[in-house]
Amino acid sequence: MAWDDALWRRIAERGVHDAIARWTDEQAIEATERFGAHNYHPLPVNIVRAKGARAWDAQGKEYLDCVGAYSAVAHGHLAEALVREAKAQLERSTLVSRAFYTPEMALFVQALAEYSGLDAVCPMNTGAEAVETCIKLARKWAYTVKGVPEDRAEIVVCENNFHGRTTTIVGFSTEERYRRFFGPFAPGFRIVPFGDAEALEAAVTPNTAAFLAEPIQAEAGVIVPPDGYLAQVRQVCSRHRVLLVWDEVQTGFCRTGRRFAWNHEDARPDLMAVGKALGGGLLPVSAAVGTREAMAVFQPGDHGSTFGGNPLACAVAVAAVAVMEAEDYAGRAERSGAFLRTAFLRAGGGSIQEIRGKGLLLGVEFVPELPAERLQEAFLRHGLLTKEARRRTFRFAPPIATEQAELEEIAERFESAVRSVAGTM
């Protein structure tokens, strides 16, 4: 659209939606491509509205959302209880900085410590910041508590990890696309295969500060480690006085059928990173959560974030966790995931290589004969939002609040989409 002084005034007076109300899907996509950085390759769907498990484009085409903003939308879009909480907080205060105390943050840190079964909480905004916070805590713990010589601490991580996009984090990614041309990278990381506790033990040295891993590797294609791995890793870490750091940013808050994925085994961490669903699908809220011993190394000035722990984020996050508890999200995720897994296998027949995952975090890997691009196009055409992860695997992680009738609709659309591709082979 042509931009001039009148337009600024008009937006200021009549609002954003007055300006974009007549945009077609194509116009929105074109402006995004022209003025936006091309660090994503979105599917050709322009979502103008979303509610519960559904989303709509400007033409009124309706979709069931099985991406759920990568598990960040657990409560469904615009969950009423959370919108109400946000509106109430908008009448009080939203942003005061950590220069002061607020009752909302007081409630948040206590609620999250209680919910996690851990002792203390450092509020942040995004998942990557929560992981960075854990890395800083682990290193400082290594130097000041374990006695590792300064600047020699090592953190063991896994192949095919995904922990976010900061320069430190992509530095220990094994995905060439995430790293290339972004170096030089921070030293101090060792990479071992995922799912192999012996490899972890072999990589530990006297300078090892921590082991950092996802309990299920979601971005890698929903890779579930062998049964017993989480508990074995806990034992290895305890044996060698190494901090266990779980990245629960995507798997946390009931997504896998437990409060946290580590709750499937005896694998309580010393530190964990949480985010995504903690914001109730309304705004970014993350945190590093840990034991008293690990968190105690932070002193005033060691770490911070302007927006971390703001009253709006804290109020929404506490309400989000309360809804998960009151409405048994863990049980719902387990039951809904089991339903979809069975329905997909029945519908997909010989087209499906494997379904991986736990709870309502499912990765459906198709046989190599079915072209991923055609599947992707068919899912959209049949009204299902899903996106290919690595390994011809499509992610199905609808909101945990998705109703049974909607799950049945997801299964029906899945069947029609897969048949439309498989039937023409």
Ligand X SMILES: *Cc1c(COP(=O)(O)O)cnc(C)c1O
225 vs 383, beta carbon nearer ligand X: 225
Q: Which residues contact 265 (CB under 8 A, 6 or more apart)?
A: 227, 228, 229, 230, 231, 234
Look at residues 222, 279, 262 and name the one whose alpha carbon lies nearest to residue 397. Answer: 222
d(CA 298, CA 303): 7
- The contact pattern for ligand X, residues 266-305, with x = CB under 6 A and - = no contact, is ---------x------------------------------
128 binds ligand X (CB under 6 A): yes
Q: How many residues sit close enough to ligand X to count as binding (CB under 6 A)?
A: 15
Q: Which of 124, 131, 319, 362 binds ligand X (CB under 6 A)?
A: 131
Residue 133 is a binding residue for ligand X (CB under 6 A)? no
Is residue 87 part of the annotated active site? The answer reads no
Strand order across the 243-247 sheet: 120-124, 286-290, 271-274, 243-247, 208-213, 154-158, 189-192
Site residues (CB under 6 A) for ligand X, limited to 2-31: none
**Phi, psi (rounded to 5 degrees) for 353:** -80, -45
Cα–Cα distance measured from residue 98 to residue 301, given in angstroms and rounded to the nearest whole number: 11
Least separation in angstroms between residue 61's CB and ligand X is: 27
Q: Which of 65, 172, 276, 344 is catalytic?
A: 276
Query: Distances in Å between the alpha carbon of 261 and those of 213, 264, 278, 360?
Result: 12, 6, 15, 12
Candidates 78-86, 245-253, 264-272, 385-393: pick the segment binding ligand X (CB under 6 A): 245-253
Residue 255 sits in the site that holds ligand X (CB under 6 A): no
The one catalytic residue in 162, 172, 189, 394 is 162
Nearer CB in complex with ligand X: 171/343: 171
Residues 47-76 that bind ligand X (CB under 6 A): 70
Contact status: 127 vs ligand X (CB under 6 A): yes
**In the complex with ligand X, which residue's Cβ is closer, 164 or 348?**
164
How many separate helices (H) and strands (E) can be counted in the chain? 16, 14
Which residue's CB comes closest to ligand X? 127
Residues 420, 261: Cα–Cα separation, whole Å: 35
Nearer to ligand X, 73 or 249 (CB): 249
Active site residue 358: no
Query: Which of these segments, 18-26, 120-128, 354-362, 402-410, binds ligand X (CB under 6 A)?
Result: 120-128
Sites for ligand X among residues 153-192 (CB under 6 A):
162-164
Using CB under 6 A, which of 200, 209, 218, 333 touches ligand X?
Answer: 218
Binding part of the chain for ligand X, among 19-27, 42-50, 101-109, 124-132 by CB under 6 A, reads 124-132
CB nearer to ligand X: pick between 246 and 414: 246
CB-count burial class (<10 Å; 0-12, 13-18, 19+) for 88: exposed
Q: Which is nearer to ligand X, 131 or 135 (CB)?
A: 131
Beta strands in 225-374 (DSSP E): 243-247, 271-274, 286-290, 352-358, 361-366
> Which run of H or E residues covers position 5?
helix 5-14
Q: Of the candidates 89, 133, 208, 250, which one interacts with ligand X according to CB under 6 A?
A: 250
Nearer to ligand X, 236 or 273 (CB): 273
Neighbours of 415 (CB within 10 A): 17
The least CB distance from residue 169 to ligand X, in Å, is 8
Q: Which residues contact 271 (CB under 8 A, 6 or more apart)?
A: 134, 137, 138, 210, 243, 244, 245, 246, 288, 289, 290, 291, 294, 295
* Strands annotated E in 269-415: 271-274, 286-290, 352-358, 361-366, 384-385, 393-396
- Closest distance between ligand X and the C-beta of residue 166, in Å? 8
Q: Which stretch binds ligand X (CB under 6 A): 43-51, 247-255, 319-327, 383-391?
A: 247-255
Is 182 catalytic? The answer is: no
- Which of 247, 260, 394, 396 is labelled catalytic? 247
- Select from 246, 407, 280 the least CA-distant residue to 396: 407
Quote the longest CA-to-CA distance of the chain.
68
CB 216, min distance to ligand X, A: 9
Q: List Cβ neighbours of 175 (8 Å cut-off, separation of 6 or more).
A: 160, 162
Q: Which residues are catalytic?
A: 162, 247, 276
Binding site for ligand X (CB under 6 A): 70, 126-128, 131, 162-164, 214, 218-219, 247, 249-250, 275
